[in-house]
Chain A
Amino acid sequence: MKVTNKKLLIEMTAIILLAVAIGITWNHRLLWDVYTGKHSGTATTPEITAAPTTSLLPAGLAQVKDLFDKKEAIFVDAREKSVFSQGHIQGATSLPPATIITDLQGFTEKVPYDATLVLYCSGYGCRDSKDLGNILLQKGYRQILIFDGGYPEWKDAGFPIEGANQ
């Protein structure tokens, strides 16, 4: 009985390790991006030197603040316009996915395709920034960072905001 349980445990461990190894191999580029440059907890925030990609890149608070300070990125707010007007990251442009058809032309005229974009919405669990990111990728933008913590994390950190309720 003991031998059976031990064998079972080994089998379970082997299945998990095999799956984890495949998962890490499959996603090694994404994990490397997160580990090297987009980790909000890193003491020093690396510059964005990666070649333009065709996928959305995750970005943490420290990195987006660094980009904000150096004015190296354009901040794009993917929340609804009414929410945007109540408060947003200072200097951010409003571009909700729901009104993209009417707003996109003005956006592309104003923002060059090689610009670094930081997209955000209402924090973890919010999908609008990712939806918007996918649309902008299709339109030809190649340096798109998704700031998962979004407006709530930025505001909680005490970083510059503007809007009616700030």
Chain B
Amino acid sequence: MRMKKKAKHYFLLTLRIGLGLVFVYAGILKIRDPVAFAGSVAAYKLLPYSINYLVAATLPWVELACGLFLIVGYKVRASAGIIAAMNILFIVLLASTIMRGLDIDCGCFRQGGEKTSAWVAILRDILFLAVALILFTERKERKFSSW
């Protein structure tokens, strides 16, 4: 029983820090080149010109903040909730590019370079969503858990 609890503890700890690192990485790459990220946002052809830049200027910071909070274990449930909501939004947006026949790079991590297909990006986001939801629900009964 104790072994099982310990295994779960390390499992959740790995998920939390792993997801945190992914979002810190994604955020920093975009923060370094907001103009390129604005181009990626604009490629979705959903927002007015200037709003693409507003999204590019702010979204990476939300990713970075949530990632950092997950790594340090502060406000884990709120951060996981935001990441889950963002991933649901990303999945919907990526699905819309497939439906509209847009052959674009998802702009998820590094801007430019080789394209990541929308299907691959959706599968990746589903994985992130699942991890975020696990963290969100598991944290429910705890105030400040050890993981």
> What residues of chain A have their CB less than 8 Å away from a CB belonging to chain B?
8, 11-12, 15-16, 18-20, 22-24, 26-27, 30-31, 34-35, 39-41, 55-56, 58, 60, 124-127, 130-131, 146, 148
Contact of B35 among A15, A16, A23, A58 (CB under 8 A): A58
Q: A8-B81, A30-B35, A30-B53 are in contact. Are A125 and B43 (CB under 8 A)?
A: yes
Contact between B39 and A18, CB atoms less than 8 A apart: no
Inter-subunit contact A15/B112 (CB<8 Å): no
Q: Does B19 contact A (CB under 8 A)?
A: no
Of B5-13, B63-71, B87-95, B120-128, the one with at least 4 CB within 8 A of chain A: B63-71
Q: Mark interface residues in B85-121 (1 if CB within 8 Å of A CB, else 0).
A: 0000000000000000000110000011100000000
| Least distance between A11 CB and chain B CB atoms (Å) | 4
Provide the residues of chain A in CB contact with B111, threshold 8 Å. Answer: 127
Are B62 and A24 in contact (CB-based, < 8 A)? no
Chain A residue at minimal CB-CB distance from B69: A15
Q: Please name the residue on chain B nearest to A42 by beta carbon.
A: B50
Chain A residue numbers with a CB within 8 Å of B81 are 8, 12
Contact flag A131-B112 (CB < 8 Å), given A11-B75, A124-B45 = yes
Q: Is the interface of B mostly helix, strand, loop or mixed?
A: helix
Q: Does B34 contact A (CB under 8 A)?
A: yes
Residues of B within 8 A of A27 (CB): 34, 53, 56-58
Q: Which residues of B contact A (CB under 8 A)?
A: 31, 34-36, 38-40, 42-43, 45, 48-50, 53-54, 56-62, 64-66, 69, 75, 77-79, 81-82, 104-105, 111-113
Bound-complex Cα distance A148 to B36 (A): 10
Is A23 in contact with B53, judged by CB distance below 8 angstroms? no
User: Which of B36, B50, B53, B60 sits near A127, CB closer than 8 Å?
Assistant: B36
Q: Can you spell out 17 A-B residue pairs with CB atoms less than 8 angstroms apart? A: A15-B69, A15-B79, A18-B65, A19-B64, A23-B58, A23-B60, A24-B54, A26-B57, A26-B61, A27-B57, A41-B49, A125-B39, A125-B42, A125-B105, A127-B36, A127-B113, A148-B39
Known: A20-B58, A20-B61, A127-B39. A15 touches B66 (CB 8 A): yes
Name the A residues within 8 Å of B66 (CB-CB): 15, 19
Chain B residue, CB-CB nearest to A60: B49
Question: Which of chain A's residues has its CB closest to B44's CB?
Answer: A124
Kindly report which residue of chain B lies nearest to residue A7, judged by CB atoms: B78
Q: Are B62 and A16 in contact (CB under 8 A)?
A: yes
B75 contacts A15, C-beta separation under 8 Å = yes
